[in-house]
Amino acid sequence: MAQTTDASRWQTTVQVGVQAGQVRPDVNVSNGGWYYPYYPVRPAGNRYSLSIYGTTNYAVRPWLRTGVSAGVDWYSQTQLFPVAGSLEGRLPKKNQRVSPFVNLESGYAFRGINPHGKDLSGGWLVSSGAGLRINTGNHTGFVISAGYKHQRASQRTPVDGTYTLSQVEYRHYNRIYFRMGFSF
């Protein structure tokens, strides 16, 4: 039986992919005859955006890895930088060419560069998925994964121009993601 070195317990995965989700249209709010138009009006439809992710995991057991993930996600004109804790489970077979895995992540996303400036703030996120790691030897491999991600964010907008009166928009991004990358 081969000894596992401490260096072989660490694994870094870098993936690039697309996120897909549907947006409902904005509606005007009526309150006893007074209308408060929501600005800007967002059209309904499907949205696709870019996602770049990196994860560094440590093998606690042959079938369980835990670690940290970080990346950048775009949601239309909004950019968020997620940082999350990660759990990954896999089949513990030795010398397996294709290794299926499942993962779970939870953390927080910070505001990135976007046209809303400082008015936008990030929020809590949770993600789960599954994938395949195609081992290429020497502790490297090609990774394909898919899953679901829920991301929260909020945007504060001044009504009077000075934030004495303001409105807060709470955003909930629900996306399906597909990613590909390398593991080493």
Which range is most confident: 97-101, 135-139, 170-174? 97-101
Residue 178 lies inside a defined structural domain of this protein: yes
The residue that leads in pLDDT, 167 or 125, is 125
Instruction: State the total domains in the chain.
Output: 1
Q: What distance in Å separates the CA atoms of residue 83 and residue 152, rounded to the nearest whole number?
A: 13
Exposure b/e, 129-151, CB count within 10 A at least 16 = b: bebebeeeeeeebebebebebeb
Q: Over 90: is that where the pLDDT of 69 sits?
A: yes
Residue 118 lies inside a defined structural domain of this protein: yes
Q: Which domain holds residue 30?
A: 7-183
Residue 59 lies inside a defined structural domain of this protein: yes
Which residue, chain included where needed, has tokens 């046209």?
Answer: 115
Residue spans of beta strands (DSSP E) within 27-139:
29-31, 34-36, 45-61, 64-75, 78-90, 98-111, 120-121, 123-137
Q: Over 60: is that where the pLDDT of 86 sits?
A: yes
Q: Over 90: is that where the pLDDT of 52 sits?
A: yes
Q: pLDDT category, 161, cuts 50, 70, 90?
A: low
Calculate the average pLDDT of the chain.
Answer: 81
Residue 1 lies inside a defined structural domain of this protein: no
Residue 2 lies inside a defined structural domain of this protein: no
Residue 37 lies inside a defined structural domain of this protein: yes
Residue 137 lies inside a defined structural domain of this protein: yes
Question: Average pLDDT in the 114-119 region?
Answer: 65
Residue 162 lies inside a defined structural domain of this protein: yes
Output the domain CATH number for residue 64: 2.40.160.20
